[in-house]
Structure formats: structure tokens, C-alpha cells
Amino acid sequence: MITGRYPSLRLRRNRKFNWIRRLVRENDLSSSDLILPIFLTDGKNKKVNIPSMPGIFRHSVDMIPKIIDKALKSKIPMIAFFPNTELRKKNNFGTEALNENNLVCRALRLAKKKYKNEIGLMTDVALDPYTTHGHDGLFKKNQILNDETIDILIKQSLLQAEFGSDVIAPSDMMDGRIGKIRKALDQKKLYNVQLLSYAVKYASNFYGPFRDAVGSKSTLKGNKKTYQMDYSNSDEAIREVALDIKEGADLIMVKPGMPYLDIIREVKNKFKIPVFAYQVSGEYSLIKKGIQSKIISKNAILESLISFKRAGANAIVTYFANEIEDLLD
């Protein structure tokens, strides 16, 4: 509650110069708050443009050291791998997810061998990059099978952990998968592998460019509204988070980001658990194309990311991660 009144109280006094604005600033952003997503593709020495995401590319696994070296120089603490699986390797069951020579496993093997624990390695657990139908789980008779999907997600999680993933991030939104994955990891004595649950993942219209990047947009049959959340709901988000914390989640993701700042704040206030936000591909592309068209300033990047910190996010997955250092300078 503000005490005092004008003219003895003038709030503008604390805004008059840069030095005082810095001293009284309530939220700051640094590279240490950011997670860099990396899209993977087959081949060697490849850097493939993604038209719907200006400035973002798919990289072959051999290119990863260059990306990680730059991330380390920028003091980015974690990267996240997302594969663009060749169509010939996809099928109705997503079996390529369990191939120890798939893109993610090869990337993990290389990164962990070269960098040890210098940088965190996060991997996505879901079947959509590997299925011909584009869904996160097994698809039968126009339904996503929950429990049968979890059996595969457990194997996928164990495989990723075996090859060096530090943070397993199930984004599939199947009921009960966090508890079962946690139990499986513990049984294998993988006690230190963290679980970042996409507990709050909405059936959003902002995912289109990402689906282009991983190659699932053209194959997706129908929509994901039977397992991802209705964007009209907030109480449901609290229930999802509560369940996943009880099941063993170490960290919670809210996805998308900017349209759901209210959810980030509510989750943070209620559970006092580390909350990550995903500034998704649609958010990125809208801002990036706005900058390129000179509709908005490049400083809108920083403003958008600060909004997550203000809402209570501990970390942000963002495609702008490599651009922040220059803006902060």
C-alpha cells in the first residue's frame, strides 16, 4: 500500500536517471535465466533454414559443439534438443524414439562426452517428432491412448538419461506419466536426473512454427485438444501442477509463455517451486517478424522476456537466447 500523497510524494523521482532506475529495478534478466532450444537434423555440416522462424536453423549433430561453445561464452546454463526426424524413420508407433542412434541420443552422446557437466542438457519426452500422425502419444481409432503411451515414454526417458540427459522434460500431457517415469528412473538408480514436467501445456495456436521445425505440422491428424489444456482454464492448471509435484516433478513448465503470465504467477505463488516458461515458436516469430518489418523495436525482445521474470518464472526457454547478450550490453 502506498502511503503519502502528491506533491510531497513524487514517484517520478525514482525514474529521473538511468542509475536510479537500475538501483530500484525489481526484476533483472541475464543469460543465466535462459535455455537455448536446438533443432537437430540428419546429415553432416548442415545448417537448414526454417522459413517460419527467421534466424533459426536445424543443425546436424556434428555442428553442436559450435552452438554449445557460443552458449557457454554467453553463460547460457542449459540447452534443449528437438529432433527433425526423417519421414522414412517415422511410423504410427514412434519407434524411432527408442532408437539409441536417433538424433537426440547422438547429440546427447557427443555433448556429454565433450562438455561433461559444463552445460545442462534437456531433452523432450513425447512421440510427436517420431510418429506419422503427429501426435504426442499412440493414436488408435481417433483416440490418444494414455497408459499405453506412458509405457513408451518410460523407455524413451530411460534411454535419454542413459545417454546423458540432465533434465528429462515430458511434454506429452498424458495423465500419470511423471510418477511412472520418476519410479523407473529411481529403479535404475538415476536419482539425480531431474524431471521438468510440462504440467501446464495448453492446446495453443502459437505452436505452428515449432511443428514446421520438427516436421510434424504436415502430418498432424486433427488437433491435440483431448490431452493438451483448454486455454480458457486456469484452475485446471493448478490441479495439473499439484498432481505432478506429488508424482515427483522437480521443475514445472508453463507453455506457451506470454499469453499465460497469469498462470505462471499463480503457480509460483501457490507452490513455491521452480517454474520455467516456454516462449514458444509463434511468440518468437511474431516478435521477430515485427522487428524485421520495423513495426516494433528490437528492445521488444528484452521487454517480452522481462515479463516472464516479473510473473515469477525462474527460467525461460527462448529462441532469442543467443541475442540477449547484445541487448543487455
What is the distance between the alpha carbons of residues 83 and 311, in angstroms, rounded to a whole number? Answer: 30
Tell me which amino acid residue 57 is.
F
Strand partners, 39: 58, 82
Of 255, 268, 288, 309, the active-site residue reads 255
Write down the residue that cell numbers 492448471 correspond to: 237
Of 201, 224, 268, 288, the active-site residue reads 201
- 255 given a catalytic annotation: yes
- 180 given a catalytic annotation: no
Strand partners, 276: 253, 315
User: Of 53, 68, 57, 147, whose CA–CA distance to 110 is shortest?
Assistant: 68
Tell me which amino acid residue 90 is.
K
Please, are residues 227 and 174 in contact by the beta-carbon 8 Å criterion?
A: yes
Q: Write phi, then psi, for 188 (nearest 5 degrees).
A: -90, 10
Angle CA 197–209–121, to nearest 5: 40
What is the distance between the alpha carbons of residues 193 and 207, in angstroms, rounded to a whole number? Answer: 27
Task: Give the distance, in angstroms, between the CA of residue 34 and the centroid of all CA atoms in the same chain.
Answer: 10
Strand partners, 123: 81, 168
Active site residues: 201, 255
